[in-house]
């Protein structure tokens, strides 16, 4: 909807992101704010929101289903959920890239049984609960979205089918083994805040990543 406010947190990108975003002002209620690391940019966007829910998206995300946001909102309102996410699809790359995301989706569904998690690729949050949890931890340098969503109770969390598509850029920069190893170590250290506060060199491999809130 053209009345929906869209904020793009720009972390000093060099690809003309602010100009491209603002070129849509005649059609969308869109603005650019100062970003930083993903948790910082997302929190700055959330601080300007006054809606009951906030949808966080990564910069390279596209909706695979045009009804996804509406259905997530309906599910959140009907069931009084705190966090809603969806499955992740890989739009390009090899079958190995696609298989890694299938594995991620499977693990996410399994996490439903104990400690569910969402990623910043698509994360719809109840704004009040978001701030009660303190927002994204700005000192965490890796998996801040994973860390935050794990604080949501299972009965207040949902995965809605429909999906969003992303690229294989992370695999190109880091390789499948390193990405897989980081994912596994993160899952094994879900209880250990010191692990998340360490620098895992995750962003040194990323030239330009712009979170959106």
> In 35-109, where do the E strands start and end?
53-57, 62-63, 83-90
User: How much of the chain exceeds pLDDT 70, in percent?
Assistant: 94
User: How much of the chain exceeds pLDDT 90, in percent?
Assistant: 77
Residue with tokens 């390789």: 175
| Average pLDDT taken over every residue of the chain | 91
Q: With 70 as the cut, is the pLDDT of residue 206 above it?
A: no
Q: With 90 as the cut, is the pLDDT of residue 2 above it?
A: no
**Residue 150 tokens, joined:** 């794990």
Query: Do strands 62-63 and 157-166 pair parallel, antiparallel, or not at all (unpaired)?
Result: antiparallel
pLDDT band at 207 (very low <50, low <70, confident <90, very high): very low
Task: Compute φ and ψ for 66, nearest 5 degrees.
Answer: -65, -20
- 144 near 209, Cβ under 8 Å? no
**Using CA atoms, how far apart are residues 160 and 70, in angstroms rounded to an integer?**
11
**Using CA atoms, how far apart are residues 58 and 121, in angstroms rounded to an integer?**
5
**Using CA atoms, how far apart are residues 85 and 149, in angstroms rounded to an integer?**
10
pTM: 0.90
- 200 near 142, Cβ under 8 Å? yes
207 Cβ contact partners less than 8 Å away, ≥ 6 residues apart: 173
> Would you list the DSSP string of 86-105?
EEEEE-SS-HHHHHHHHHHH
pLDDT in tens, 76-103: 999 999 999 999 999 888 999 999 999 9
pLDDT in tens, 98-148: 999 999 999 999 998 888 999 999 999 999 999 999 999 999 888 999 999
pLDDT in tens, 183-200: 999 999 998 999 999 988
**Using CA atoms, how far apart are residues 58 and 120, in angstroms rounded to an integer?**
6
Residue 81, SS3?
coil
């Amino acid at each position: 909807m053209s009345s929906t406010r869209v904020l793009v947190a720009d972390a000093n990108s060099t690809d003309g992101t602010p100009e491209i975003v603002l070129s849509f002002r005649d059609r969308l209620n869109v603005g650019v704010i100062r970003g930083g690391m993903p948790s910082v940019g997302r929190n700055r966007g959330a601080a300007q929101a006054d809606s009951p829910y906030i949808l966080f998206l990564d910069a390279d995300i596209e909706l695979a289903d045009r009804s996804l946001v509406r259905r997530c909102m309906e599910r959140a309102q009907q069931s009084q959920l705190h966090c809603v996410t969806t499955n992740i699809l890989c739009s390009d790359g090899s079958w190995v890239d696609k298989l890694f995301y299938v594995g991620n989706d499977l693990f996410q569904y399994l996490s439903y049984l104990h400690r569910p998690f969402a990623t910043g690729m698509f994360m719809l949050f109840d704004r009040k609960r978001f701030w009660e949890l303190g927002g994204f931890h700005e000192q965490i340098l890796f998996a801040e979205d994973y860390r935050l969503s794990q604080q949501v109770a299972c009965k207040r969390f949902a995965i809605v089918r429909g999906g969003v598509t992303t690229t294989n850029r992370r695999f190109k920069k880091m390789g499948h083994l390193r990405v897989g190893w980081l994912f596994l170590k993160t899952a094994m250290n879900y209880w250990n805040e010191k692990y998340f506060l360490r620098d895992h060199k995750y962003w040194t491999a990323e030239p330009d990543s712009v979170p959106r809130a």
